[in-house]
A and B are shown apart, each in its own frame.
Chain A
Amino acid sequence: MSALTKITEIELDGTATSYNITSGIDATYRCYYFTFQNIHPSADCQLAVGLSQNGGTDNYLNSKTSAVWLNRVMLTDVADIATEFRPAWAMGNDTAFQVLCESIYSGVTDGNMSGYFYLFNPSNTSYNCHYMWSTNCLQQSNLTWQNTGTGRMIGSGACNAVRFKTLDSPTATLDAGTITMWGLNTS
């Protein structure tokens, strides 16, 4: 039997700019694993994550420190490449939402973002809650853009809820794709 247990699956349907997961993140699992599949927005936008210590009533604005790097190539010109630190998305004890990907191109229906996000032992109040992720998306119609990062929530409170939301476009909704949260069994 697979040790991966599906806890929550959100089918994105274009009705919202953010999606919250406010249950199921607790001491049941030491490792939570989120997958992003074929996420497509209604307008070009980034996807970002916020972490909460009280089920979301803190508006997911807990301080975080993160380090991020990018790896991109232009689809029509493989000489147009970059692999470098992404200072704009790094966060030093910052309450802003953490950007998980470059702006996802909305102009074609088959362009999307996919990737994953880990949350380690979020209920342990002795240590900082750590996370890491990697995503890839179609950006500006002609770039494939990978972002990879790691970080930690400042302080030692438990993380018990997450919000995934669009950034960089005030009206963009997530009109297709799936966000799934898994727990990794230890028995």
Chain B
Amino acid sequence: MILGSPTYIATHTASSATSIEITSNIDSTYDTYMLVMTDMKPESTVGQKFGFNTDHAGTSYNNPHCSTNIMWSYNDDDSGADFSQGAGVLSDNSTTPVEMGHGVGNTSYAIQPGIFYIFDPSTATTETQYMWHITGYYATGDGTFGCWNNAKENGAGTISKIKFTAAGGSALFSGTIDMYGVS
């Protein structure tokens, strides 16, 4: 759900790019930041997973995270019902990008929209928390999937940058992220 009263900050886009990097405006102005993702689309092989990593100043987007999830899916042919913790997208103190959900199809109309929250990134004494709720075109079986996921930094510190990638940064994608501050 949309929390509080959002204030629009900026729009970030990718077109055949390997990342969307948000490098400004994540600061102490707001306690919570909301990122609305639309039309996030892989542009090469089927089954690419979107992911993110964050940056303390100078860590080059390799902070360690823990993440967990609930994922569900169903296919166009009435098969493939699933509701489970997606073991393949858990993160355990890993510095690689936190995977956000299942692999997205790369048919011409396959995308992954969603809502992503960053909680209290500017408090140096706490671990920053993340939560996202997404819906996507499931690469497996031509279906749909949803995810309620969350993650946290392993270690306290401020976060001022976040980078979104596909397939760990090795794949091209397009998409739009509208950024809001929530008070």
List chain A positions with a Cβ less than 8 A from chain B.
1-4, 30-31, 33, 65-69, 84-85, 87, 90-93, 116, 118, 120-121, 124, 126-128, 130-132, 134, 148-152, 154-156, 182, 184-187
Contacts and interface: CB of A to CB of B under 8 A. Distances in A.
Interface string B93-123: 0000000000000001111011100000000
Interface of B: 1-2, 5-8, 11, 36, 38-39, 41, 70, 72-79, 81-83, 108-111, 113-115, 133-137, 143-146, 148, 176, 178, 180
Contacts of A128: 109-111, 137
Contacts of A87: 81
Given A2-B6, A69-B70, A186-B8, 15 more contacts: A2-B5, A3-B7, A67-B146, A90-B74, A90-B78, A90-B81, A93-B78, A121-B113, A124-B38, A128-B137, A132-B134, A149-B146, A156-B108, A184-B6, A184-B36
**Which secondary structure characterizes the binding site on chain B?**
strand
A132 B133 contact: yes
Contacts of B135: 120, 130-132, 150-152
**Which secondary structure characterizes the binding site on chain A?**
strand
Nearest to A134: B1
21 contacts: A2-B7, A30-B176, A65-B74, A68-B74, A69-B83, A85-B81, A90-B74, A90-B78, A121-B38, A121-B39, A126-B39, A126-B108, A127-B41, A132-B135, A134-B1, A150-B144, A152-B144, A154-B76, A182-B2, A186-B8, A186-B178
B146 A150 contact: yes
A68 B39 contact: no
A24 B10 CA distance: 23
Contacts of B180: 3, 184
Contacts of A90: 74, 78, 81
A35 to B, nearest CB: 8
